[in-house]
């Protein structure tokens, strides 16, 4: 069971990666695709039209696939961690305001005309990242009671501050003249800076955040018994919770900084994994990483293909396709009281 | 401890991310110009394969006689009709960089002012494409400059100058007829009336505002804030415009429908039948057809003078 769960989800991920590389608005015949991939091994140089196809594969599709994969993994993994942390099936990585903080930072920055330079182009993702983390710290500070941080307080402070930030973002968008379109695209996961720079920039944050999460399975299992029980079983509850919260928020903040706000992956993927492979967090976390990556890759393929050469913001696809799929899984699930 | 850890987290990738290398290729008969983003763009010679990312750019390229050099367009570029047969590379919801690369353009003509984002420009530049961003012009005169820039980039400099001269003459002709008039009708230009109690109109600084003024009218939206300004039915009733122009005619608004909107019947423009459908593309795209728009507006506002 354990091995099969990993096998299935890895197969799913590989399939999604292959589709993501093979499908785009420019049709590359499968035979050419094979020839290019084999040619790489020999470091062959191609002539037209293979040269263009090879360039599209290496310089456009591969970096995009990598960024989407990382973003999906971050959202899936953080979603599972948040749900376990708050012991709440409605929790997703945006529960305590990461998305609204990032959105506020991004939209605020878009209203300024930055110089066209490396750092000018980094302004929006950097502001989104900082906005997200500041929100988490603020919410955490607001929710604190003495030395403990009750989860109910966290949720309430998070939702309240989230509404505040969203209202401010909407106000800024309504007032702006030229940036409305860009802002809406960003808020629906439609921002895409091509190339490897975004991938390399988010990688260290994700490695740290997701690394901590994957190792937190046991702690999350204990937390499911309630704080007192977990404490008695030897878990330093407050410290563990803070660390997991920070790690998940860090991963989410890094993921949204370049990709924009992508909803539902972090909510749905952990639930599907739980329904299919059980609720043991030691397994649920890594599987949610893999599942989130695969699911977002598929959504991105659809976003690119459905109206090609136009591209839809991927957040629209994750909701339109992801939600019916999840409801279908939910209806079919045999262990209805799984939570 | 945690604080130090977090500061370190913020710093690591900043160090890891290195700035992109800038390469300059000085060719002998090259064209070098600075674009809207302040980038210095160099072409080896006049561009022969141009992808246009904005409807105004497509209109400009065709108007200066560079239509045959255009190999791709955005989804909304629907004028002139020849442009429709060109392959599209994306549009309002996003562009496909691989479709652009596959067309092998030697120039991608983008538009600034919020239409094509700097992220898009950077992405295309990283893929080795030459991108020039035309500014979103604030005035008709600045639009002329865009025509001339596009002319230089595509080797149609003289055609562009000829076109600009003829446009200038047409504008001067309108100016000349409007100047002696002492009557300026109040105008309400409708952009969107999905909610008829608070429709959107053209605010100060928009081309519509500029052109209405130039066509000898008073834009009631000029008092509002923002280029896309919301006006309440109350404000509209007080302003009581003499003429209503339906820039949203393409979305199915007609003078008959406007007359039936609750509360609108008392407006002078409706009682005197001064409600006109209008092709918004003439005034919303900063290209040569702005002058067509100016002439059309002048005819609506002063039908006696323009026959």
Nearest-CA neighbor of B157 among B79, B45, B53, B251? B45
**Min Cα separation B209/chain A (Å):** 15
A181 contacts B114? CB cut-off 8 A: yes
Is the confidence at residue A335, as pLDDT, over 70?
no
β-pair partners for B40: B34
Domains of chain A in sequence order = 2-332 (1.10.3470.10)
> Cis link prior to A309 (omega < 30° from 0)?
yes
Residues of B in contact with A194 (CB under 8 A): 97, 123-124, 126-127
**Min Cα separation B104/chain A (Å):** 9
pLDDT tens-digit map of A242-279 = 999 999 999 999 999 888 889 889 999 999 998 888 88
- Of residues A27 and B11, more confidently modeled: A27
Task: Write out the H or E segment, with its range, that includes residue A297.
Answer: helix A281-305
Nearest-CA neighbor of B175 among B304, B294, B301? B294
Residues with pLDDT less than 50, chain B: 1, 9, 12-28
pLDDT tens-digit map of A282-300 = 999 999 999 999 999 999 9
Query: For residue B138, with 0-12 CB atoms within 10 Å meaning exposed, 13-18 middle and 19 or more buried, which class applies?
Result: middle
Chain B contact probe: residue of A32, A60, A136, A141 with most B CBs at under 10 A: A60
Nearest-CA neighbor of B61 among B140, B132, B129, B125? B132
N- to C-terminal Cα separation, chain A: 20
Q: pLDDT at position B8, please? A: 54
Is the confidence at residue A212, as pLDDT, over 70?
yes
Chain B contact probe: residue of A21, A22, A25, A59 with most B CBs at under 10 A: A25
Tell me the three-class secondary structure of B242-258, residue by residue.
CEEEECCHHHCCCHHHH
- Closest residue in A to B89 (Cα) is A309
Nearest-angstrom CA–CA distance, B286 and B307: 26
Q: Are A254 and A206 in contact (CB under 8 A)?
A: yes
Query: So what's the ipTM on this one?
Result: 0.77
Nearest-CA neighbor of B55 among B88, B10, B16, B22? B88
Chain A contact probe: residue of B102, B104, B112, B125 with most A CBs at under 10 A: B102
- Binding-face residues of A in 170-189 toward B, CB within 8 A: 175, 177-182, 185
Nearest-CA neighbor of B183 among B33, B97, B16, B305? B305
Which stretches of chain B sit within 8 Å of chain A by CB?
2, 6, 9, 12-13, 16-17, 19-20, 37-39, 75, 87-99, 101-102, 104, 113-115, 117-119, 121-124, 126-127, 136, 226-228
A279's tokens: 């609720």
Nearest-angstrom CA–CA distance, B81 and B59: 10
Which pLDDT band, with edges at 50, 70 and 90, does A192 fall under?
Answer: low
pTM for the model: 0.82
Domains of chain B in sequence order = 23-168 (3.40.50.1980), 182-301 (3.40.50.1980)
Q: Are A254 and A74 in contact (CB under 8 A)?
A: yes
pLDDT tens-digit map of A68-105 = 999 999 999 999 999 999 888 888 888 888 889 999 99
B118 contacts A116? CB cut-off 8 A: yes
Quote the longest CA-to-CA distance of chain B.
80
Q: What are phi and psi of A144, to 5 degrees?
A: -70, 135
Q: pLDDT over 90 for what percent of chain A? A: 39
| Strand spans (E) along A59-130 | none
Q: Are A308 and A126 in contact (CB under 8 A)?
A: no
Q: pLDDT at position B111, please? A: 93
A29 in B contact zone (CB under 8 Å): no
Tokens 């530049």 correspond to B125
Q: Are B100 and B131 in contact (CB under 8 A)?
A: no
B88 contacts A25? CB cut-off 8 A: no
pLDDT tens-digit map of B34-49 = 999 989 999 999 999 9
Q: pLDDT at position A204, please? A: 93
Cα four-point dihedral sign A75, A77, A78, A84: positive
Q: pLDDT at position B23, please? A: 45
Facing residue for B119 by CB, picked from A26, A193, A308:
A193
**Min Cα separation A186/chain B (Å):** 11
Is the confidence at residue A122, as pLDDT, over 90?
no
Q: pLDDT at position A119, please? A: 82
Facing residue for A208 by CB, picked from B9, B102, B115:
B9
A9 in B contact zone (CB under 8 Å): no
Rounded alpha-carbon distances, angstroms, from residue A26 to A55, A202, A204: 12, 28, 32
Is the confidence at residue A40, as pLDDT, over 60?
yes
Query: For residue A3, with 0-12 CB atoms within 10 Å meaning exposed, 13-18 middle and 19 or more buried, which class applies?
Result: exposed
What's the mean pLDDT in A7-25?
A: 92
């Amino acid at each position: 069971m354990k091995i099969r769960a990993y096998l299935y989800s890895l197969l799913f991920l590989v399939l999604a990666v292959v589709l993501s590389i093979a499908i785009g608005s420019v049709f590359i015949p499968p035979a050419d695709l094979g020839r290019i991939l084999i040619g790489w091994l020999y470091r062959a140089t191609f002539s037209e039209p293979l040269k263009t196809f090879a360039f599209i594969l290496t310089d456009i599709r591969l970096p995009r696939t990598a960024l989407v994969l990382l973003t999906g993994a971050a959202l899936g993994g953080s979603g599972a961690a948040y749900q376990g942390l708050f012991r709440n099936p409605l929790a997703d990585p945006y529960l305590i305001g990461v998305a609204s903080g990032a959105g506020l930072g991004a939209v605020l920055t878009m209203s300024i005309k930055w110089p066209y330079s490396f750092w000018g182009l980094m302004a929006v993702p950097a502001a989104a990242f900082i906005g997200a983390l500041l929100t988490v710290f603020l919410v955490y500070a607001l929710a604190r009671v003495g030395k403990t941080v009750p989860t109910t307080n966290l949720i309430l402070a998070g939702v309240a501050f989230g509404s505040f930030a969203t209202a401010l973002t909407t106000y800024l968008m309504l007032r702006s003249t030229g940036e409305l379109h860009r802002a809406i695209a960003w808020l629906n996961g439609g921002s895409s800076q091509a190339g490897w720079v975004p991938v390399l920039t988010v990688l260290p944050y994700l490695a740290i955040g997701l690394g901590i999460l994957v190792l937190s399975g046991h702690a999350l299992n204990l937390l499911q018994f309630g704080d007192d029980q977990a404490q008695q079983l030897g878990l330093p509850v407050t410290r563990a919770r803070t660390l997991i919260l920070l790690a998940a928020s860090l991963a989410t903040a890094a993921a949204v900084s370049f990709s924009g706000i992508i909803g539902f992956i972090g909510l749905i993927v952990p639930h599907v994994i739980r329904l299919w492979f059980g609720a043991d967090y030691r397994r649920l976390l890594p599987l949610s990483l893999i599942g989130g990556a695969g699911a977002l890759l598929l959504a991105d393929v659809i976003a690119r293909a459905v109206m090609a050469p136009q591209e839809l913001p991927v957040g629209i696809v994750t909701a339109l396709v992801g939600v019916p799929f999840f409801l279908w899984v939910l209806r079919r699930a045999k262990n209805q009281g799984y939570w | 401890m945690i604080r130090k850890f977090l500061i370190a987290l913020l710093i690591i990738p900043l160090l890891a991310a290195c700035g992109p290398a800038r390469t300059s290729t000085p060719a002998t008969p090259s064209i070098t110009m600075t674009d809207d983003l302040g980038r210095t763009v160099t072409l080896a010679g006049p561009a022969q394969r141009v992808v246009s990312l904005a409807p105004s750019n497509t209109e400009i390229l065709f108007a200066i006689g560079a239509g045959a050099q255009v190999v791709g367009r955005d989804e909304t570029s629907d004028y002139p009709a020849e442009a429709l047969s060109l392959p599209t590379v994306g549009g309002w919801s996003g562009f496909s960089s691989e479709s652009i690369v596959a067309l092998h353009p030697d120039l991608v003509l983008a538009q600034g002012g919020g239409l094509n984002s700097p992220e898009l420009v950077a992405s295309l530049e990283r893929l080795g494409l030459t991108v020039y961003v035309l500014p979103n012009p604030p005035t008709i005169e600045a639009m002329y400059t865009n025509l001339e820039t596009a002319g230089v980039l595509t080797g149609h400099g003289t055609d562009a100058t000829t076109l600009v001269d003829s446009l200038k003459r047409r504008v001067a002709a309108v100016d000349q007829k409007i100047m002696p008039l002492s009557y300026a009708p109040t105008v309400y230009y409708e952009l969107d009336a999905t909610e008829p109690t608070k429709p959107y109109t053209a605010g100060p600084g928009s081309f519509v505002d500029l052109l209405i003024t130039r066509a000898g009218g008073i834009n009631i939206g000029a008092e509002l804030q923002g280029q896309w300004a919301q006006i309440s039915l109350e404000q509209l009733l007080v302003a009581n415009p003499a003429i209503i122009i339906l820039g949203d005619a393409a979305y199915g608004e007609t003078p008959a429908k406007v007359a039936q909107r609750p509360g609108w019947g008392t407006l002078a423009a409706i009682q005197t039948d001064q409600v006109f459908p209008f092709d918004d593309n003439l005034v919303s795209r900063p290209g040569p057809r702005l002058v067509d728009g100016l002439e059309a507006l002048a005819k609506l506002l002063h039908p006696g003078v323009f026959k």
